[in-house]
Amino acid sequence: MMNKQRCEIGVESRAIIIKLRDEGKTLREIGNIVGRTHSTVQTIIKNFAATQSLVSSPRSGRPQLLSAREKRAIVARVTENPKISAPKISADLENNHKKKVSPDTVRNVLRQSGYHGRVARRKPHISPVNRKKRLEFAKMHLNKDMSFWQKVLFSDESKFNIFGSDGRTMVWRKPNQEYNIKNLNPTVKHGGGSVMLWGCMAANGVGNLQFIESTMNRFKYLDILKENLKNSADKLELGADYVFQHDNDPKHTANIVKEWLLHNVPKQLRPPPQSPDLNPIEHLWELLERRIRKHQIKTKSDLKERLEEEWSKITIHDTSNLVKSMHRRLQDVIAAKGYPTKY
């Protein structure tokens, strides 16, 4: 709780302090008599010795509205809850402490302490159980060399909007703190859009892209695998011993899918739940999104056409760099103790 800022010591109290000093009292004795700290007493005596006046010297500028304690309390509020707004803090100061300050004053206090308003990064919320699984996966695969990752066929589904979306949340944070758990904007996968598709990639390029027109269930997913998986692996020259990666979506873990994969793709890599940062194809979707937004898209047909066009332009350089990032991704998961990373 913030205390009221102390009022300036009056001339009469200053005169008493000087009188007690002349009587030979110590600083602490004088402080106990007048109810002030010995350091305050010392300052008053020093100022009197320098000016021979009990009146304070004129001050330049406007007096500060907030005490150091109140400023620290504002910073503490933001440290506890980075998503709290400056108007909210300003209103709380007025309602709870009778201190009327503008939101701009609050913002200035925060900036002086190194905090700046930024858009919260969107990252999945990760449960304690899945944090543990992420750490275990990262430690298990950290020492895999590039020859292993070059044999992995990464896959995923994604949705694309006809018009881009921008759900933004502002947070107060210091530089290089964008991935602190308090500063993230938790998301869930597939949040809106008008075209859904399935795709895959490896270090040496992209596989087939398939639009999903009907309801995406385990039967549809199995059909996609039957139609595309072997063709994509052959196209990318991965050989018969490639490793197929897909996530833990219930459609992917259905018994009919597991059984088919067991007989057709025995080598599989299944990352832990809530781990899009461990699947480089997620960044391929972001690359695809940026490229299609260079075009004017008004209809679903336009969107499909641009998606196919830009997918075909993705190069080995693009996919190779993404796969090469796997070691860094695993390192970052370990460093973040299972929490979301920058990927």
Q: In which domain, by residue range, is 247 found?
A: 125-335
Kindly provide the b/e burial profile for residues 190-220, where b requires at least 16 CB atoms within 10 angstroms of the residue's own CB: eeebebebbbbbbbebbbbbbebeeebebee
Structure letter (DSSP) for residue 190 = S
Give me the number of domains the chain comprises: 3
- The Cα–Cα gap between 105 and 87 comes to 10
Residue 174 within any structural domain of the chain: yes
**Single-letter code of the amino acid located at 38:** H
Judge whether 120 lies within some domain.
Answer: no
Question: Residue 14 domain-assigned?
Answer: yes
Q: Which of 103-112, 238-247, 324-333 has the lowest mean pLDDT?
A: 103-112
In a domain, 293, yes or no: yes
Beta bridge partners of 198: 157, 210
pTM across the whole model? 0.63
Position 167 scores a pLDDT of: 47
* Cα gap 247→245, rounded to integer Å: 7
Which residue do the tokens 């639009």 mark? 211
Q: Would you say residue 70 has pLDDT above 90?
A: no
In this structure, are 89 and 176 located in the same domain?
no
- Same domain, yes or no, for 189 and 326? yes
Count of C-beta atoms within a 10 Å radius of residue 93: 22
Q: pLDDT tens-digit profile of 265-300?
A: 989 999 999 999 999 999 999 999 999 988 888 888
**pLDDT of 204-223, one tens digit each?**
999 999 999 888 999 999 99
Name residues whose C-beta falls within 8 Å of residue 326's C-beta, 6 or more positions apart in sequence. 141, 144, 149, 278, 280
- Is 343 part of any domain? no
| pLDDT, tens digit, 9 for 90 and up, residues 134-189 | 999 999 999 999 999 999 999 999 999 887 644 456 677 888 887 787 777 654 44
CB 159 within 8 A of CB 190: yes
Q: Does residue 245 sit in the same domain as residue 99?
A: no
Residue 228 lies in a domain: yes
With beta carbons less than 8 A apart as the criterion, state whether 118 and 170 touch: yes
**Are 100 and 209 in the same domain?**
no
Confidence at 83, pLDDT banded by 50, 70, 90: confident
Query: Same domain, yes or no, for 211 and 262?
Result: yes
Same domain? 205 vs 289: yes
Same domain for 178 and 270: yes
| Together in a domain, 21 and 76 | no
Same domain, 57 and 75: no
Q: What is the DSSP letter of 201?
A: E
Q: How far apart are CA 94 and CA 113, in angstroms?
A: 22
Q: CATH code at 13?
A: 1.10.10
Q: Would residue 167 count as lying in a domain?
A: yes
In this structure, which amino acid lies at residue 47? N
The residues that bridge with 202 in the sheet, in sequence order, are 205
Query: pLDDT tens across 92-141, in order?
Result: 888 887 888 888 899 999 998 899 888 777 777 789 999 999 999 999 99
3-state SS, residue 211: strand
Specify the amino acid at residue 54. Answer: L
Q: Does residue 322 carry a pLDDT above 90?
A: yes
